[in-house]
Copies of this chain bind each other. A is one copy, B any other.
């Protein structure tokens, strides 16, 4: 990141110092990064439309009370707007709560919607790993009352299709079910009011060893017996059918868990119909932080999600103010989601609309994709033709107006064209401009040729010898179109 310290003079000649940069945890996007990111957006939009999705756009800030009580411990990361008189508002923390508010506001009974937009979290940024305070999410959600696990399995299919489409290698989709998890906790003796905090301790098992998590569970007021019982469950992962088998053999006698197990059995059938069972891992330690999930939950991870081997050393060395120690725990999940059947109901007195969805983490996917991309092959400009004039000597005016007229003819025909913004431009500067623009063709107005109604059309990047074709101005547009 480029930072510069400036001293500007105000009207009263009082020195004002400031650092020229974007706010902490945010960045500018430009050039080749934009091409890569737009390509991710394009692929995911096409995927979402393929599954019947329609897009919506909600305001970047919501009434503060809409966001209150939806995010558990993470609520402290919500950005508030200043109270400048009027309503209290906050920047959106995700796209899910605004979606639920949208469904309730518009009294919808069903919708498949996608939304690609920025969300805001006042977290400690870890920019190099793709964790930012302002970042994009690409969400697809299905709202409506349907048969058990049918939209859920399609969402899992979309998750796999999306990662395949983006050519993410060796990813794994971890699954769990909130009802099974809650049932396990209940069966192990965790009081209802402690379930969410034990759950958030368990969620750390992907980064921390059991001993550390066990300690946290004890600190959160649970007995050693409860903790150890929990471990007999949460250590298991495998195919959906394998883990169902383990749960059944465990003889867990809890109605909530039983309901979750039944749902997972139905899911096992459907993911086989979609032929994605091999990408899935039923992992009883997956908990997910957000309060609003009520059923199936999932997150996709890759090798890049894991912490590097020397993470603890890097942690000690971390000093930069922009990158805290958590920069060294890997990028985390690249996509995640779940079922949330009660969220719309929190905004609506008369009815609740069940929902299930997936959110792709664009910045994390971007980091992976950029690493494997040959940047030299990307050009952020789309220019096809560069209009030039060649001449010289006394009375030569550089044909600026003539270049404007020719460029205008090309534009009117829908052809991407540029010219050098100088009246008298030498040949070298014009070729430099053409090269920078990435143009494939030059249209050249010669001092003698153009007054006779002719221009040269020359393919660029083929050496100086190639003089190009001499074409009448009337035929220029059709000739250029043929060449492109």
Interface residues of A (CB under 8 A from B): 2, 4, 6-8, 10, 16, 18-24, 26-31, 34, 37-38, 49-63, 65-66, 69, 79-84, 86-87, 89, 91, 101-102, 104-107, 113, 118, 120, 122, 134, 142, 144, 146-147, 150-151, 153-154, 157, 161, 269-270, 272-275, 346-349, 380-383, 400-402, 404-405, 408, 411, 414-418, 421-423, 437
Contact = CB atoms under 8 A, between A and B. Distances in A.
Contacts of A89: 23
Contact of A86 (B10, B24, B29, B62): B24
Q: Which applies to chain A's interface (DSSP): helix, strand, loop or mixed?
A: mixed
A140 to B, nearest CB: 13
Contacts of A91: 60, 81
List the number of copies, as a whole number.
Answer: 2
A251 B401 CA distance: 30
A59 B22 contact: yes
Given A82-B82, A349-B7, A380 B54 contact: yes
A321 to B, nearest CB: 10
A54 B381 contact: yes
B347 A20 contact: yes
A22 B33 CA distance: 33
A434 to B, nearest CB: 11
Nearest to A80: B82
Contacts of A54: 30-31, 34, 380-381
B49 A416 contact: yes
A417 B122 CA distance: 39
Contacts of A153: 404
User: Sorted from nearest, which 8 A-B pairs have the closest CB atoms?
Assistant: A146-B421, A26-B59, A273-B404, A29-B57, A80-B82, A150-B421, A49-B382, A273-B401
A7 B346 CA distance: 10
Contacts of A383: 52
Given A23-B63, A273-B401, A50 B416 contact: yes
Contacts of A30: 54, 56-57, 102, 106, 113
A10 B26 CA distance: 34
Contacts of A79: 81-82, 84
A150 B274 contact: no
